[in-house]
């Protein structure tokens, strides 16, 4: 296969390449005792989540080239130098000073090492101290990794490496940076803007908070996962690019936990439509919307705007909002937003995928012209998306949604076709 260039200049351009991670044993390696440390408020049942994810994956595979994190990782660690450097970074980041441990995991086969770096490495009970240790893992599982959007994100021709807000997820970003730096399939030079520009020690930014509206417009959420310092570092990186750029920053609440990222409250559906959680995006007066404009390598203005839709309209993007949960009942809106009801992923303009369980949101989409299609019908070959101008593909997400994310969270696009605006 030829090298694939990084090219994502919108959220809706026809999808050509996307990275996912199929959830595996790392999800079931969580217990009620360690779930909170893993940033979960509940534990998932893989036996139920797996078939839900399988339908989601099959739809993606019918419409794009799909890359799986574990396979990409296995490919790159076949290189001895890459393997050694990756493990050195992981051991240093997770404060493993035990040389025996690092030598132990470096001896694994490529497939076994790729598996255990994600599923976790169990403690060897070969000393009395280790035998008595209550900890089960010397390298913890990564149950959040199937939300591949978070650890890295594509902006135009660059892959940006995230600085995770919680240290338990740092290994995900390290793995993604190593993949983009060394895998022969990707034509990329990953950028770690926070490592390059931040001196505060307070910076974090995650991909769920970064939405590519247009080649010259980014939407970025700031809240519990992405800080103002992290956004400043991103702005400093964008100053290096020619032309005028606009960054629309939206404050999001720290609670409830369903507001973890901007894409849990706003996603693009088509050239002229978006899905929003109306109480935050349009009705809130407590959470600021700010436009930062970059010209000639400098910030030329920072100013407050009424809301995101007004800000986008000023920049030539007039979007019709579809309301998560419908527009009649605030309680329903809040319930479906909690269940990732605003988190849709576009396969191409006007053709999106999301959870079937959010029935009021799906009904709202249908009223706005979207044909409702079950993922199972597409997987079986009974229906083709090519036969529809606008459609929402529904996947069963009763178990997956309990992880705290939706279809956009579970995808990291690397290449989309340009949109004819």
C-alpha dist (Å) from residue 165 to 40, 201, 247, 305: 14, 11, 21, 27
Asked if residue 236 has pLDDT above 80, the reply is yes
**Short-list 249, 264, 269, CA closest to 349:** 269
Average pLDDT over residues 103-122: 91
Place of tokens 């083709």: 384
pLDDT band for 123, please (50, 70, 90 cuts).
confident
Long-range contacts of 319-322 (CB under 8 A, 24+ apart): 319/272, 319/273, 319/274, 320/272, 320/273, 320/274, 320/368, 321/273, 321/274, 321/275, 321/276, 321/278, 321/281, 321/282, 322/269, 322/273, 322/274, 322/275, 322/276, 322/361, 322/364, 322/365, 322/368
Helix H or strand E encompassing 301: strand 298-305
Residues in Cβ contact with 319 at an 8 Å cutoff, skipping those fewer than 6 apart: 272, 273, 274, 309, 312, 313
Q: Which domains does the chain have, with CATH numbers?
A: 4-75+142-416 (3.75.10.10)
Q: In which band, very low, low, confident or very high, does the pLDDT at 404 lie, cut at 50, 70 and 90?
A: confident
**pLDDT for the residue numbered 124:** 79
The alpha-carbon radius of gyration of the chain (Å, integer) is 21
User: CA angle, corner 119, sides to 118 and 123, nearest 5?
Assistant: 115
| 134 pLDDT above the threshold of 80 | no
pLDDT on residue 329: 94
The pLDDT value recorded for residue 158 is: 96
Residue range 155-201, pLDDT digits in tens: 999 999 999 999 999 999 999 999 999 999 999 989 999 999 999 99
pLDDT score for 34: 57
Query: Residue written as tokens 């247009």?
Result: 214
The structure's pTM equals 0.94
Average pLDDT, the chain: 92
Q: How many C-beta atoms surround the C-beta of residue 234 within 10 A?
A: 25
Reference 174, options 213, 212, 220, 139; nearest CA is 139
For tokens 């799909």, the residue is 66
């Amino acid at each position: 296969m030829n090298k694939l260039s990084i090219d994502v200049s919108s959220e809706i351009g026809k999808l050509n390449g996307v990275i996912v991670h199929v959830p595996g044993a790392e999800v079931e390696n969580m217990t009620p005792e360690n779930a909170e440390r893993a940033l979960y408020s509940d534990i998932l049942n893989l036996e139920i989540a797996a078939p839900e994810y399988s339908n989601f994956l099959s739809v993606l595979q019918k419409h794009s080239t799909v890359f799986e994190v574990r396979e990409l990782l296995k490919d790159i660690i076949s290189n001895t130098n890459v393997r050694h450097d990756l493990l050195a970074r992981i051991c240093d980041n997770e404060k493993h000073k035990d040389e025996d441990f690092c030598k132990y995991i470096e001896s694994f086969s490529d497939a076994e090492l790729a598996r255990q770096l994600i599923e976790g490495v169990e403690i060897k009970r070969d000393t009395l101290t280790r035998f008595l240790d209550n900890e089960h893992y010397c390298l913890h599982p990564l149950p959040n990794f199937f939300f591949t959007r978070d650890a890295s994100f594509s902006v135009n021709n660059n892959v940006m490496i995230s600085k995770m807000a919680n240290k338990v997820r740092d290994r995900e970003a390290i793995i993604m940076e190593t993949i983009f730096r060394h895998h022969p399939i990707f034509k990329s030079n990953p950028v770690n803007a926070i490592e390059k520009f931040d001196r505060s020690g307070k910076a974090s930014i995650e991909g769920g908070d970064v939405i590519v509206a247009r080649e010259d417009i980014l939407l970025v959420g700031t809240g519990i996962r992405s800080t103002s310092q992290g956004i400043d570092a991103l702005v400093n990186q964008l100053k290096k690019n020619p032309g005028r750029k606009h960054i629309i920053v939206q404050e999001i609440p720290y609670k409830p936990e369903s507001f973890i990222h901007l894409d849990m409250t706003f996603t693009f559906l088509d050239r002229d439509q978006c899905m929003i959680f109306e109480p935050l995006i349009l009705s809130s007066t407590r959470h600021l919307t700010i436009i930062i404009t970059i010209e000639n390598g400098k910030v030329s203005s920072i100013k407050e705007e009424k809301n995101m839709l007004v800000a986008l309209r000023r920049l030539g993007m007039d979007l019709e909002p579809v309301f998560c949960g419908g527009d009649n009942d605030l309680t329903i809106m809040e319930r479906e937003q909690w269940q990732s009801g605003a988190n849709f992923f576009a396969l191409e303009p006007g053709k999106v995928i999301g959870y079937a369980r959010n029935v009021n949101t799906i009904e709202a989409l249908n009223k706005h012209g979207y044909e409702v299609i079950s993922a199972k019908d597409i997987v079986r070959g009974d229906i083709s998306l090519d036969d529809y101008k606008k459609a929402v593909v529904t996947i069963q997400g009763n178990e997956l949604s309990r992880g705290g994310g939706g279809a956009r969270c579970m995808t990291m696009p690397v290449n989309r076709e340009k949109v004819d605006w």
